[in-house]
Amino acid sequence: MDIVNHTAKLAAKPKFNSRLPFSANLPYDGLFAERLPLIHAFSLALHHAISARKSLSLYRKARACLVGNDLAFHAAECGVYMGNSLVACAQMVRACGLKGRFHALDTFSGLPDLSEIDLRLAPENAPYRGQKLFADTSFEAVKSRVIDAGLSDSVVFHKGLFADTLQHLPNVKYHFVNIDCDLFEPHIECLDFFYPRMARGGVIFFDDYGSREFPMARAAVDQFMRDKPELLFHLRTGDDGSNRTKTYIVKY
């Protein structure tokens, strides 16, 4: 999320709006353009999951049903805030006719305290040094938004710090994970958990890799991926401004 815009929005004291626009109508508005890389990466994850399922023999499909292995599309979002990207992606799963499970992880009360690494890497004038960002949301509001969108069967909420909630997630193969949590340690916690649990062809999307306001996001991803074989793919929207470049990996 572009923090300059976000800080301006905060200053304007927005009321929580459970129906923020997420329109794909042409010409794209700024919000949609910023989301397009996520939609691309998510489509790729859907494509890989659907291809993998098609390539299963009838015998393996029947066996999966018999032994209770569900063939659902498993996804997670680490950093939900108001639920914009969560709802958009969960709607895409439904539109594809896939059975989906979407795990939504957040404090739902804003960023946790900055760690020593965050404080070391954050720009001197970063607004979040003195102000808790993304606190203008609530668990109840996001939940009712999900219910309004008819997605309550597929979205599972995990409220709290990742360090406490990740351990309660099911031990399945994940097809898509959106890591959008800005800070250093939360990135590492999510990668430690999800990377070994990704399905082959599964996608991990790093929303903040190109963020100048949160350089610790990129530092964490680079540190984690240093000894991993997967390539980082970069999708740039518009000019080279902060957070215009979004990044993802496809698990081998």
Ligand X SMILES: C[S@@+](CC[C@H](N)C(=O)[O-])C[C@H]1O[C@@H](n2cnc3c(N)ncnc32)[C@H](O)[C@@H]1O
Interface ranges with ligand X (CB under 6 A): 1, 79-82, 84-85, 105-107, 110-112, 134, 161-162, 180-183, 186
Of 73 and 128, CB closest to ligand X: 128
Q: How far is the CB of 152 from ligand X (least distance, A)?
A: 19
Q: How far is the CB of 72 from ligand X (least distance, A)?
A: 22
Distance CA 134, CA 107 (A): 10
Who contacts 55 (Cβ-Cβ below 8 Å, separation ≥6)? none
Q: How far is the CB of 207 from ligand X (least distance, A)?
A: 6
Of 79 and 100, CB closest to ligand X: 79
CA dihedral 165, 95, 44, 168 (to 10 degrees): 10
Of 76 and 225, CB closest to ligand X: 76
Distance of alpha carbon 42 from its chain centroid, rounded? 10
Please identify the residue of the shown chain whose CB is closest to the bound ligand X.
79
Of 31 and 52, CB closest to ligand X: 31
Residue 207 · residue 1 · CB < 8 Å: yes
Residue 174 · residue 199 · CB < 8 Å: yes
- The three-point CA angle 8-245-132 to 5° equals 35
Q: How far is the CB of 190 from ligand X (least distance, A)?
A: 8
Of 52 and 161, CB closest to ligand X: 161
Of 186 and 215, CB closest to ligand X: 186
Sheet with strand 198-206: strands edge to edge: 155-159, 100-106, 73-78, 174-179, 198-206, 245-250, 233-236
Who contacts 57 (Cβ-Cβ below 8 Å, separation ≥6)? none
Q: How far is the CB of 26 from ligand X (least distance, A)?
A: 22
Residue 116 tokens read as 């020593």
Q: How far is the CB of 85 from ligand X (least distance, A)?
A: 4
For residue 151, which of 101, 78, 205, 79 has the smallest C-alpha distance?
101
